């Protein structure tokens, strides 16, 4: 009745009760067939080994590892390299894998790749969630071959890890050595530029402003002292020269027999002082005042009537008739001339030095700007060189660590096992699959028969076909009389034949 009306759970139960044998028979036969067919499948043996990843034995605070790539990525890279055609072909030829058939080498390589399994494991003790190890397994039709190939693949992983790490540290060290050489050349160039610049602008470099200012102050003091000393010496020379002129004039006057002009001048000055003193105390008619004024008048008349003095020879021109005092004055004047010349030379030198230091101060800002740019480039080059030198030293220690096999390594915990029994086919799987297939086939068969069955077995069936209400239902009250049936295959189920008067349903519609 499937497809003719909506069924209830009671209908499904009635169907299963009525046709259970259609489900039971396939469910009993197909598992037996599947179990028997499992013996036709070639057995496969699985050999497996565990490889643990040992971390670096020296703490990373002392030696930083060069290889910092995640282990998962490195393991995937190694897997691709090991499962390459160049690596697998020698193994296939050595162990004659899949050589019994007529498979091509490409198919044998693909089948070998499918039978190699690398499964990483995660340990709860790992702090960073990294891989503490992984399983390597290989499946083959022969137990010994599976074990040998698994061991070969394991050796390839261990050796590839050592080769990869050694290649990484050597490549890193070679790269850093090249970078360090370039950085050293750059640093030498910057150093040469710094030396040339410092030599060119010596005294104008930053930090020398204070010494320059102190030097200017000291030179100014020296210049003032020299200028004052020069002025004193020139004053002394003028005095000495005046004294020499006076001495020569006195000598010439004495030679002519007249009074010395200086004596007359001194006497006149004395009389003038006396006159001034007397006029403060007495009147102009006082006799002493009149007498002093008369003397002054006479002396001035005498000085006016005196002959003019003879020209005085130059002080530098000595004369045989010079007195000792004149000779001494000439010597003092010559000494003063030498002193004056020396002081003027010193004054010129100090002025020149003072100009140099003032030029240094004035040009200091421009030099500072160039020096700052040069220093920044030099500092950058020095820092880059120091950083590279540190990395090179770290790389050398890491390389030595790898050579001593103290770095990260793959450790084979167990050699590949020799399987005692095949890993496939699994009989239980075949048995379960046969049972599932039998049940499915039986259910499909029941569904098909029920779909084609048009018998009316309940009031709902009558309503579904006639669309008429049922007035009454007469239950079966008589004893069923078994009627001999012509069907041979009843599978233990009795199919009663019920007389027309004994049918339980009756529909009366109109």
3-state secondary structure of 47: strand
Q: What is the pLDDT of residues 18-77, one digit of tens each?
A: 889 999 999 999 999 999 998 888 888 999 999 888 877 777 777 777 676 777 788 888
Does the global pTM surpass 0.75?
A: no
pLDDT at 146: 92
Question: pLDDT category, 323, cuts 50, 70, 90?
Answer: confident
pLDDT of 261 over the 80 cut: no
168-196 average pLDDT score = 90
337-356 average pLDDT score = 93
Q: What is the pLDDT of residues 433-490, one digit of tens each?
A: 999 999 999 999 999 988 888 787 777 888 877 777 777 777 666 555 554 444 444 4
Q: What is the pLDDT of residues 374-388, one digit of tens each?
A: 899 999 999 999 999
The count of other CB atoms within 10 Å of the CB of residue 503 is: 11
Mean pLDDT (the chain, rounded): 82
**Strand 116-121 versus strand 133-140 pairing type:** antiparallel
What residue segments make up the domains of the chain, in order of their start?
12-37+433-445, 45-177+405-414
Question: pLDDT category, 319, cuts 50, 70, 90?
Answer: low
pLDDT at 340: 93
CA distance 85 to 43: 26
By the 8 A CB rule, do 154 and 137 touch?
Answer: no
The CATH number of the domain covering residues in 45-177+405-414: 3.30.1890
Burial track 432-469 (b if 16+ CB lie within 10 A, e otherwise)? ebbbebbbebbbeebeeebeeeeebebebbbeeeeeee
410's enclosing H/E stretch is: strand 409-412
Question: pLDDT category, 185, cuts 50, 70, 90?
Answer: very high
CA distance 116 to 111: 9
Question: 64 versus 294: which is more confidently predicted?
Answer: 294
Of residues 257, 258, 260, the one with CA closest to residue 248: 260
Q: Kindly tell me the burial class for residue 405, based on how many C-beta atoms sit within 10 Å of its own C-beta (0-12, 13-18, 19 or more).
A: exposed
Distances (CA, A) of 152 to 48, 87, 98, 135: 12, 11, 17, 14
């Amino acid at each position: 009745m499937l497809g003719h009306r909506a069924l209830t759970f009671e209908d499904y139960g009635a169907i299963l009760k009525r046709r259970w044998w259609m489900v039971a028979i396939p469910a009993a036969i197909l598992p037996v067939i599947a179990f028997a067919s499992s013996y036709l499948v070639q057995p496969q043996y699985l050999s497996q080994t565990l490889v643990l990843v040992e971390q670096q034995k020296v703490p990373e605070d002392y030696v930083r590892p060069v290889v910092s790539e995640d282990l998962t990525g490195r393991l995937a890279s190694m897997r691709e390299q090991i499962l390459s055609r160049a690596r697998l072909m020698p193994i296939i030829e050595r162990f004659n894998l899949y050589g019994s058939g007529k498979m091509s080498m490409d198919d044998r390589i693909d089948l070998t790749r499918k039978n190699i399994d690398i499964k990483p494991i995660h340990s709860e003790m790992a702090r960073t969630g990294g891989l503490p190890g992984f399983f390597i397994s290989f499946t083959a039709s022969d137990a010994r071959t599976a074990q040998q190939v698994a061991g070969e693949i394991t050796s390839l992983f261990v050796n590839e890890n050592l080769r990869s790490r050694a290649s990484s540290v050597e490549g890193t060290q070679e790269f850093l050595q090249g970078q360090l050489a370039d950085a050293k050349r750059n640093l030498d160039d910057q150093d040469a530029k710094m030396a040339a610049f410092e030599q060119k602008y010596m005294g104008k470099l930053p930090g020398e402003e204070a010494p320059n200012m102190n030097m200017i102050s000291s030179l100014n003091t020296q210049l003032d002292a020299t200028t004052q000393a020069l002025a004193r010496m020139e004053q002394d020379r003028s005095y000495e020269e005046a004294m020499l002129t006076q001495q020569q004039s006195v000598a010439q006057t004495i030679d002519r027999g007249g009074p010395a002009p200086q004596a007359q001048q001194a006497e006149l000055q004395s009389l003038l002082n006396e006159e001034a003193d007397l006029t403060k105390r007495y009147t102009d008619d006082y006799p002493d005042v009149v007498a002093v004024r008369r003397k002054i008048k006479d002396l001035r008349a005498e000085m006016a009537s005196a002959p003019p003095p003879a020209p005085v020879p130059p002080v530098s021109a000595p004369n045989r008739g010079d007195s000792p005092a004149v000779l001494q004055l000439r010597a003092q004047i010559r000494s003063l001339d030498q002193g004056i010349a020396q002081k003027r030379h010193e004054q010129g030198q100090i002025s020149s030095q003072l100009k140099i230091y003032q030029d240094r101060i004035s040009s200091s800002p421009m030099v500072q700007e160039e020096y700052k740019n040069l220093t920044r480039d030099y500092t950058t080059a020095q820092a880059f060189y120091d950083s590279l030198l540190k990395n090179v030293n770290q790389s050398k220690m890491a390389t030595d660590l790898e050579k001593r096999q103290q770095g990260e390594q793959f450790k084979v915990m167990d050699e590949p096992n020799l399987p005692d029994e095949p890993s496939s086919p699994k009989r239980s799987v075949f048995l379960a699959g046969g049972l599932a297939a039998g049940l499915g086939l039986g259910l499909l068969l029941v569904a098909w028969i029920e779909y084609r069955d048009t018998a009316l077995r309940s009031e709902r069936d009558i309503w579904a076909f006639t669309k008429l209400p049922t007035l009454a239902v007469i239950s079966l009250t008589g004893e069923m009389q078994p009627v001999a049936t012509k069907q041979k295959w009843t599978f233990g189920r009795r199919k009663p034949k019920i007389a027309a008067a004994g049918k339980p349903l009756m529909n009366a519609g109109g």
